[in-house]
C-alpha cells in the first residue's frame, strides 16, 4: 500500500490525516489497517515505540464505530496517564471531521468526578489506565457490555508495572464476542500466556524482528567504576554539546541525585520520578518536549508516555536487569528516519552481559572511549564558536553602543579579537589549557582527585598524584577517627563505602586508612569532621552498633 486512501478509510478520516501531513503508512500501519478495517480477527502487533502504533489500531476503530450509539464501543488500555492522554489527543485529531464522535480518557492523578460526568454524557471510545478504569467499573460508572473492541497498548509495560490482576478483572467485564488487539514492543512469555487466555486464533504481525532494536540506533558502552559513574556520564555529555537525551536511572533517589548534580554543572536538566505531583510532572515534561530542558533524568516507569521524536541519545546510567528494558529504552531514539545513539555505563564485571544484549538486538556494541581533558576543552570552545555563529545580532541595546565599541577595539586584529573571546569563554568555563593537554576545571578536578585518593588509600597509602599525573591538593587538612570495627568485617573498600553512605556524598577526600583486629583508624577531610560524627550516631554495620570517635593525629615518622 502506498496511501491511506487505498485501505478504504472514510473521507473525514483521510481529510484529518492530510491535515496532519500523514502521507504514507508506516510498516506496522501497512500490515494492520486493512485487516482491522475489514476483519474481526484478533491481532498481536509487535512494534517498537514511535512506529505509528496508535494510528494502526485507532484509525480502524474510528472507521468502524457507530457514531449514533453513544455507549462505549471500544476501550484502549495503556500503562500511564501520559500515554493515555497522548492516545486521546491523537484520536481527537484523527476524528476531528466526524461530528459527534467522542473519546474519553480515564486516568489517575485527576478528578474522578469530572471523568464520571464526562462518561455520563456519553462517548464512543474510552482510553484508560488499568487502575482508574477498574475503579470506574466497580463504581458502575463505566459499563463495558457494549464493547466490540479491546486494545491493550504497550502490554509488556502494563505487566512490568504490576497491572496483571487489574487487566484480568477488566477483561472479565467485557463481552465474550469482541475483537482483541494486543500491541507490544517485546514478546515475553507472560504476553504469550495472556494472548492464549484472552485471544482467539490471533494473527501476529511485526514491524521488524521480535525483541529487536531500531535499525538506525547505534549502541555503545562505557566502562566505569561505580564511584566514577557520574564523572563518566558528565564526560559523555560534555563531548556532545548538542545532545538532547533521556538518562535512565534505577531509583527515584538516584534520579534526583543525578539531575541535581547536572544542574550544578550547568546543564539544563531535570528529574522525572514517582515523588512528583501530577502538576510537577506535567511541567517538567512540557519543558522537555519544548526543548527548554536538554537532559531528562528518569526512571522507566516515570518516562512512560513521554513521546519525543528527535532525541539524539538515550543513556543508561546503569545496565538494566532485564534486556527487554534496554531494548525498549533504546527505541526512544533514532525515530522518524533520524540517527540515534543508545549508551550504557557498565562495570567491568558486567561486560559479559553486553554479549547477551548483542544477540537479543542483532546489533554490535562499540566500546566508547572518553575524550581526553584537552579534547573536552576544545569541544567546549568549538561549541561556543558554533553558538556565536547562530546568534542573532539584532539587539537594540547592542546596536546603541556598537559604534563606540568598534572604536575601542579597532586596534585589535581579527586573530587577537577571536583569541581574547575564546580566552574569556575558557575562563568562564574554568578551563585552563596546560602543556600536555590537561585542563583545570575546579569541580572536575576535585572529583578526579577525590576518586584517585580513595583508590590509593584503599591500600593505606597517601596519594601524592592523581590519575592525570597532577599534584593533589597537599594543603588539605585531615581529621583522624577511630571506629570500633576491625578486619573481620571491614576492608578499606567497605569502609570507604560506609563513610560515603553516611555522609551521602563522595565529594570529600579520605586520607590514610589503618585496619587492625578489632578496630580501625581512618582520615577524612577536616571540613567534614562535625558532619561525620553526627552521621554515625545511630548506625549499624553487619549487626554491630558502630561507634566513631575523633582520634589523636598520628605522629608522622
The answer to whether 88 and 101 have CB atoms below 8 angstroms apart is: no
| Distance, CA of 106 to CA of 75 (rounded, Å) | 11
Q: Cα(first)–Cα(last) distance of the chain, in Å?
A: 85
HEC readout, 469-516: CCECCCCCCEEEEEECCCCCCCCHHHHHHHHHHHHCCCCCCEEEEEEC
Residues 6+ apart with CB under 8 A from 208: 27, 46, 47, 48, 214, 215
Mean pLDDT of the chain: 82
More confident residue, 108 or 462: 108
Dihedral sign computed on CA atoms, order 388, 391, 392, 397: negative
The answer to whether 455 and 238 have CB atoms below 8 angstroms apart is: no
Q: Grade residue 474 by pLDDT with cuts at 50, 70 and 90.
A: very low
Residue 149 has pLDDT above 60, yes or no: yes
pLDDT at 429: 64
Q: Grade residue 411 by pLDDT with cuts at 50, 70 and 90.
A: confident
Q: How far is CA 277 from the centre of its chain?
A: 18
Question: Of 52-66, 215-229, 392-406, where does mean pLDDT reach its minimum?
Answer: 392-406
More confident residue, 485 or 328: 485
Q: What is the mean pLDDT of residues 495-506?
A: 78
* C-alpha grid cell, residue 161: 508495572
Q: What is the mean pLDDT of residues 302-325?
A: 80
Q: Grade residue 312 by pLDDT with cuts at 50, 70 and 90.
A: very high
Q: Grade residue 433 by pLDDT with cuts at 50, 70 and 90.
A: very low
| Distance, CA of 245 to CA of 268 (rounded, Å) | 11
pLDDT in tens, 72-94: 999 999 988 888 988 999 999 99
HEC readout, 216-258: CEEEEEEECCHHHHHHHHHHHHHCCCCCCEEEECCCHHHHHHH
Q: What is the mean pLDDT of residues 56-69?
A: 94
**The Cα angle at residue 255 between residues 250 and 256, in degrees rounded to 5:** 150
- Residue 347, φ and ψ in degrees, nearest 5: -85, 155
Q: What is the mean pLDDT of residues 121-128?
A: 95
Q: Grade residue 506 by pLDDT with cuts at 50, 70 and 90.
A: low
Question: Of 29-38, 196-205, 326-335, 541-550, where does mean pLDDT reach its minimum?
Answer: 326-335
More confident residue, 403 or 375: 403
Residue 143 has pLDDT above 50, yes or no: yes
Residue 436 has pLDDT above 50, yes or no: no
Question: Of 10-19, 59-68, 121-130, 357-366, where does mean pLDDT reach its minimum?
Answer: 357-366
CATH code, 217-367: 3.40.50.300
Q: Grade residue 70 by pLDDT with cuts at 50, 70 and 90.
A: confident
CATH code, 442-551: 3.30.70.330
Share of residues in the chain with pLDDT > 90 (%):
34
Share of residues in the chain with pLDDT > 70 (%):
87
Same fold across 4-206 and 217-367: yes
Q: Are strands 478-483 and 365-367 parallel, antiparallel or unpaired?
A: unpaired
Residue 450 has pLDDT above 70, yes or no: no
Q: What is the mean pLDDT of residues 482-498?
A: 84
The answer to whether 137 and 170 have CB atoms below 8 angstroms apart is: yes
pLDDT at 306: 65
Residue 179 has pLDDT above 90, yes or no: yes
pLDDT at 124: 95
Strand (E) or helix (H) holding 443: helix 442-457
| Distance, CA of 155 to CA of 176 (rounded, Å) | 20
Q: How many C-beta neighbours within 10 Å does residue 91 have?
A: 25
pLDDT in tens, 324-366: 778 878 888 887 677 899 999 998 888 888 988 888 888 899 9
Q: What is the mean pLDDT of residues 460-480?
A: 49
Residue 435 has pLDDT above 60, yes or no: no
| Distance, CA of 50 to CA of 295 (rounded, Å) | 20
Residue 432 has pLDDT above 80, yes or no: no
Q: Grade residue 170 by pLDDT with cuts at 50, 70 and 90.
A: very high
More confident residue, 78 or 374: 78
The answer to whether 91 and 312 have CB atoms below 8 angstroms apart is: no
Residue 469 has pLDDT above 80, yes or no: no
pLDDT at 438: 35
The answer to whether 507 and 528 have CB atoms below 8 angstroms apart is: no
pLDDT at 134: 95
Residue 443 has pLDDT above 50, yes or no: no
* C-alpha grid cell, residue 406: 568598534
Q: Grade residue 466 by pLDDT with cuts at 50, 70 and 90.
A: very low
pLDDT at 290: 84
pLDDT at 431: 60
Q: How far is CA 436 from the centre of its chain?
A: 36
pLDDT at 407: 86
> 61 vs 31, 126, 127, 366, CA distance in Å?
16, 11, 12, 43
CATH 3.40.50.300 fits 4-206, yes or no: yes
More confident residue, 199 or 291: 199
**Residue-range domain boundaries for the chain:** 4-206, 217-367, 373-428, 442-551
* C-alpha grid cell, residue 337: 528516519
**The Cα angle at residue 341 between residues 340 and 343, in degrees rounded to 5:** 155
Residue 550 has pLDDT above 70, yes or no: yes
| Distance, CA of 395 to CA of 399 (rounded, Å) | 6
Amino acid at each position: 500500500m502506498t496511501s491511506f486512501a487505498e485501505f478504504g478509510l472514510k473521507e473525514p478520516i483521510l481529510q484529518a490525516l492530510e491535515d496532519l501531513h500523514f502521507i504514507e503508512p508506516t510498516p506496522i500501519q501497512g500490515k494492520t489497517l486493512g485487516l482491522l478495517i475489514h476483519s474481526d480477527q484478533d491481532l498481536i502487533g509487535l512494534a517498537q515505540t514511535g512506529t505509528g502504533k496508535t494510528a494502526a489500531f485507532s484509525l480502524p476503530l474510528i472507521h468502524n464505530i457507530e457514531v449514533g450509539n453513544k455507549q462505549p464501543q471500544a476501550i484502549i488500555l495503556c500503562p500511564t496517564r501520559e500515554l493515555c492522554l497522548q492516545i486521546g489527543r491523537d484520536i481527537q485529531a484523527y476524528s476531528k471531521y466526524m461530528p459527534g464522535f467522542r473519546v474519553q480518557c480515564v486516568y489517575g492523578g485527576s478528578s474522578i468526578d469530572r471523568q464520571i460526568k464526562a462518561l455520563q454524557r456519553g462517548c464512543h471510545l474510552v482510553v484508560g489506565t488499568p487502575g482508574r478504569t477498574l475503579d470506574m467499573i466497580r463504581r458502575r460508572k463505566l459499563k463495558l457490555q457494549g464493547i466490540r473492541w479491546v486494545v491493550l497498548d504497550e502490554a509488556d509495560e502494563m505487566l512490568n508495572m504490576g497491572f496483571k490482576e487489574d487487566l484480568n478483572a477488566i477483561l472479565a467485564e467485557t463481552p465474550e464476542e469482541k475483537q482483541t488487539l494486543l500491541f507490544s514492543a517485546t514478546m515475553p512469555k507472560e504476553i504469550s500466556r495472556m494472548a492464549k487466555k484472552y485471544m482467539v486464533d490471533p494473527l501476529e504481525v511485526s514491524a521488524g524482528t521480535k525483541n529487536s532494536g531500531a535499525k538506525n540506533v547505534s549502541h555503545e558502552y562505557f566502562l566505569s567504576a561505580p564511584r566514577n559513574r557520574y564523572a563518566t556520564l558528565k564526560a559523555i555529555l560534555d563531548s556532545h554539546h548538542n545532545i538532547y537525551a533521556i538518562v535512565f536511572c534505577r531509583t527515584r533517589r538516584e534520579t534526583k541525585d543525578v539531575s541535581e548534580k547536572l544542574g550544578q554543572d550547568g546543564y539544563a536538566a531535570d528529574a522525572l520520578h514517582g515523588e512528583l505531583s501530577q502538576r510537577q510532572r506535567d511541567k517538567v515534561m512540557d519543558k522537555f518536549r519544548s526543548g527548554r530542558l536538554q537532559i531528562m533524568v528518569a526512571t522507566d516507569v516515570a518516562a512512560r508516555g513521554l513521546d519525543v521524536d528527535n532525541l539524539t541519545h538515550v543513556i543508561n546510567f546503569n545496565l538494566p536487569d532485564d534486556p527487554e528494558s534496554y531494548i525498549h529504552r533504546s527505541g526512544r531514539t533514532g525515530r522518524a528516519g533520524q540517527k540515534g545513539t543508545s549508551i550504557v555505563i557498565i562495570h567491568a564485571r558486567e561486560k559479559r552481559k553486553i554479549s547477551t544484549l548483542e544477540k537479543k538486538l542483532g546489533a554490535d556494541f562499540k566500546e566508547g572511549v572518553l575524550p581526553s581533558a584537552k579534547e573536552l576543552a576544545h569541544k567546549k570552545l568549538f561549541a561556543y564558536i558554533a553558538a556565536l555563529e547562530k546568534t542573532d545580532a539584532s539587539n537594540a541595546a547592542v546596536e546603541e553602543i556598537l559604534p563606540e565599541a568598534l572604536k575601542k577595539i579597532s586596534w585589535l586584529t581579527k586573530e587577537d579579537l577571536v583569541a581574547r573571546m575564546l580566552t574569556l569563554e575558557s575562563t568562564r568555563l574554568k578551563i585552563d589549557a596546560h602543556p600536555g593537554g590537561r585542563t583545570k576545571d575546579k569541580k572536575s578536578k576535585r572529583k578526579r582527585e577525590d576518586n584517585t585518593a580513595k583508590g590509593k588509600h584503599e591500600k593505606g597509602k597517601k596519594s601524592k598524584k592523581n590519575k592525570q599525573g597532577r599534584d593533589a591538593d597537599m594543603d588539605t587538612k585531615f581529621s583522624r577517627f577511630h571506629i570500633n570495627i576491625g578486619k573481620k568485617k571491614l576492608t578499606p573498600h567497605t569502609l570507604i563505602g560506609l563513610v560515603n553512605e553516611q555522609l551521602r556524598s563522595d565529594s570529600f577526600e579520605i586520607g590514610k586508612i589503618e585496619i587492625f583486629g578489632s578496630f580501625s583508624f581512618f582520615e577524612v577531610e577536616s571540613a567534614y569532621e562535625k558532619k561525620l560524627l553526627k552521621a554515625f550516631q545511630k548506625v549499624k554495620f553487619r549487626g554491630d552498633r558502630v561507634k566513631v570517635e575523633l582520634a589523636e593525629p598520628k605522629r608522622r615518622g
